[in-house]
Amino acid sequence: MSGITAKKEKDFSEWYTQVIQKAELIEYSQVSGCIILRPYSYEIWEKIQEFFNKEIKKMGIKNTYFPLLIPESLFKKEKEHVKGFTPEVAWVTQAGNTKLNEKLAIRPTSETIMYDTYKKWIRSYKDLPLKLNQWCNVIRWEFEHPVPFLRTREFLWQEGHTAFAKKQEAEEEALQILNLYTRVYQDLYAIPVLQGKKSEKEKFAGAVYTLSIETMLPNGKAIQCATSHFLGQNFSKAFDISFLDENNKNEYVYQNSWGLTTRSIGIMLAIHGDDKGLILPPKIAPIQVIIIPILFGKNKEKILKKCKEIKKSIKSLVEIDENENYTPGWKFNYWELKGVPIRLELGPKDLEKKQVVLVRRDTNKKETVKFADINKKIQLTLEDIQKNLLKKAELSLKSSIKGVKNFEEFKKAIKEKKIVYAPWCSSTDCEEGIKHKTEGVKSLTIPLKQEKIKGKCIHCNKEAQVYAYFGKSY
């Protein structure tokens, strides 16, 4: 195994490609845009699942599973939805040698197939709220240049689908889920995000509005991290999901849908990684501590024995690299590439002094720790690494945002690979104009907490309605 040969700052694309393969996160498949998640990356996803499942179950949300194939007749029921997703849909038209009577969409998202069933399950206000989530894969086939994790044709996600009697209940949950996604990124991935509402142009097809969290990658491109959609009654009217309320009056339910994907893994490695490879936040690291025994001479068995004792004493995810086919230096490089937060080195001299050498992956700082203090030191160091990664990422995001007062400043900031913060009229025509004049810049999100609007729209010079974030994005 060779190390990373590309520099992150000079050639981000090549650096990213090398890291995801050499750190054993993915393997490419024969189908473009459909990647193999190797165990190391899937273990990260399992940690996200574990945290997220625990939190949504506190909210009364239960896990379920619906079929992968969706009949065309169901898919077409909500007009805006089908219009928005038609370019992305892969269809099954034949089974064996037999052509199907009706095309089947391979799930790009599950609103249509789930809501056809919701109308059977919801009859009375007593059946509400209905709160379901599923962990599954989806296929979206609309783009030419896939990037593993960040933009793939097949990806894993969770999709929540909830139904309520009252509009207020649904809107409260949509925001609650957005805050939960923010916790996933900040508390687990150590990544700061920008919360807000999508523009009319950028909202989910079929939603009343879409809430999102966004962040900035080191290559100067913004990226959407997760979304929570308030669907209102758009789907319930299309699918006739109605109920009798307390006054025996027939009403349509209010709905939400929301999703978090394996894109989050790519965002994390892109933001935290360095020229040596991955840097994993401890809370999502499959291995938090790797012990490297320095094995030679008569103390070999004693060193291995002590390594195993240390492993048992540490209340973290610990592994020992006992492979004698590689040198200690090779192992140091390998586990740095894998991003393991802490490395412990134990050689003959360390054994004599009753100590280990502790190396932090985030700062590369080395220090010696007495055997008696190892567990306490490990726990404190893991906490500090998690905080340090978030702090560093917060400073980076803050420095990536630039407020502007006119369109010339806007275009200059975009060329400098910044997220632009500007007053805006919020119209779709204006957004199309901005995109046309700036080679693809779009609104990222409109902050939920708005400061007092000052001045005209940054582009069309009409009265500004909001402040918004703009940028080039995946």
What is the reported pLDDT for 144? 76
284: closest CA among 60, 15, 25? 25
Mean pLDDT for 311-339 is: 95
* Model pLDDT, residue 454: 81
Question: Confidence band (pLDDT; 50, 70, 90) for 80?
Answer: confident
pLDDT of residue 357: 98
Q: What is the mean pLDDT of residues 188-199?
A: 98
CB 287 within 8 A of CB 319: yes
CA pair distance 17, 13, nearest whole angstrom: 6
pLDDT score of 1: 59
Burial of 206: CB neighbours in 10 Å, binned 0-12, 13-18, 19+:
buried
Residue 243 has pLDDT above 80, yes or no: yes
Mean pLDDT of 235-260: 97
Q: Please, which pLDDT band fits residue 407 given cuts at 50, 70 and 90?
A: very high
Q: Is the pLDDT of residue 169 over 80?
A: yes
Averaged pLDDT for residues 174-186: 98
Please choose, from the candidates 136, 167, 132, 169, the residue with its C-alpha nearest in 3D space to the C-alpha of residue 154: 136
Identify the pLDDT of residue 406. Answer: 94
Write out pLDDT tens, residues 363-395: 999 999 999 999 999 999 999 999 999 999 999
Nearest to 346 by CA among 338, 358, 331, 361: 358
Which has more pLDDT, 319 or 79? 319
pTM metric for this prediction: 0.96
Taking CA atoms, 417 is separated from 12, 196, 317, 413, in Å, by: 14, 21, 38, 7
For residues 194 and 141, what is the distance between their CA atoms, to the nearest angstrom?
Answer: 28
**From CA 82, how far away is CA 284, in angstroms rounded?**
36
Q: Which residues are bridge partners to 356 per DSSP?
A: 369
Do residues 87 and 182 make contact, with C-beta atoms less than 8 angstroms apart? no
C-alpha Rg value of the chain to the nearest Å = 25
Which tens digit of pLDDT belongs to each residue from 419-429?
999 999 999 99
Within 10 angstroms of residue 249's Cβ, the number of other Cβ atoms is 9
What are the pLDDT digits (tens) for 111-157?
999 999 999 999 999 999 999 999 999 999 877 789 999 999 999 99
- pLDDT score of 85 more than 90: no
Percent of the chain whose predicted confidence (pLDDT) is above 90: 92
pLDDT of residue 95: 95
Is the pLDDT assigned to residue 76 strictly greater than 90? no
